[in-house]
Amino acid sequence: MKASGKEGRKRVSGAKSGAEAVPGEIRGSERVISCAEAGVEALREEMARDPNIFYIGQGIGVRGGNFQQTRGLWAEFGDERLRDTPIAELAQTGIGIGAALAGSRPIVDIVFFDFILEASGQIIQQASTIHYISNGKFKVPLVIRAAMGGVRSSGPHHSHTFYSFFMHVPGLKLAVPSNPYDVKGLLKTAIRDDDPVLFIEHKGLYGSKGAVPDKEYLIPFGEATIRHPGNDVTLVAVSLMVSRAIEAAEVLENEGISVEVIDPRTVAPLDKETILHSVAKTGRLAIVDEAYAACGFSAEIAAMVSETALDELDAPVKRICALPTPHAFSPSLDHYLIPSTERIVQEVRLLAQS
């Protein structure tokens, strides 16, 4: 580690100059809609464009999904394109893989991300490997959609955020949007991809609103964006934690601490260059993640920076994650377990002063 601070800091070799912040991404007429509405809009446009797309899941037909994530689509496209299934995640996913191999572009809605474990054999052993073991003969253009995260103290069976389990598996792509603009752009990209994509949304974000252009756009996978520019600390955050990281950055800005918030948007593929460039500028790195720290996304980012840019760090990497215990039904206890804006502020303040 260097003790010289930011003076004379060199740029990491090969790192790019930083991704464009969100305000510069909005094109066309700006409308304010929710994440749920942005997802519905993406599905509507893609299903109208390509008749090979169909959607299956629990309660996603007439009812429009637990989170209104398919609201109105059944009335437009009918039971052949949007079909309710039993609570059978393994069967849903197997159907989706088979249909993808046969030429369709299925979207399988697991609803609660916790229960993707029921389908993990199909995802890890089949969907991720078929293109490879067939020597490129077969493709699996499958989207698996699910809602993660703790909201309303839902307890240990409906609160998990273990998306990083699947970062471990070659052949899978993982998108984790944090706002309506990204939901629409990333979902459209996922549907058009020839590889299996896990599209993981946070339950706490479905109702959040933001600007979404009315023109056609796609967001490429593997391109992070800078949500809040800064010079003193790099703060990498995912999904719901992005908004809390921005709130923390605004609080710390009033204290004279400049925090750069980076949203990877996809964790597989991962935009390493944007993170490395930011660390080269700030000399300090914190990762905030609602998942547990052990063997997770935060561990991967910390290891990547330590292996690639250790000399750029002026302080140890800080990980701000859920505490290692099952989620609670008690609202006050669950709030304590999950990273809050206040906790992020405290941890990053200490890091900036170290």
Of the candidates 63, 75, 70, 78, the residue with the CA atom closest to the CA atom of residue 36: 70
Question: How far is the C-alpha of 41 from the C-alpha of 37, rounded, in Å?
Answer: 6
Q: Which two tokens stand for residue 342?
A: 């206040």
What are the strands of the beta sheet with 105-112, ordered from one edge? 82-84, 53-57, 105-112, 143-148, 197-202, 173-175, 266-268
- How does DSSP assign 240-293, residue by residue? HHHHHHHHHHHHHHTTT--EEEEE-SEEETB-HHHHHHHHHHHS-EEEEEEEES
Q: What is the DSSP letter of 225?
A: E
- How does DSSP assign 42-93, residue by residue? HHHHHHHH-TTEEEEETT-STT--TTSTTTTHHHHH-TTTEEE--S-HHHHH
Of the candidates 147, 121, 349, 352, the residue with the CA atom closest to the CA atom of residue 248: 349
Task: Give the active site residues.
Answer: 158
- How does DSSP assign 99-149, residue by residue? HHHTT-EEEEEEEEGGGGGGGHHIIIIIITTHHHHTTTS-----EEEEEES
- Give phi and psi for 199, each to the nearest 5: -110, 105
What separation, in Å, do the N-terminal and C-terminal C-alpha atoms of the chain show?
A: 12
| DSSP-based three-state secondary structure for 333 | helix
Question: How far is the C-alpha of 131 from the C-alpha of 173, rounded, in Å?
Answer: 13
Q: Which two tokens stand for residue 302?
A: 């910390």
Residue 162: Cβ-neighbour burial (10 angstroms; 0-12, 13-18, 19+): middle
Q: Which two tokens stand for residue 311?
A: 């000399």
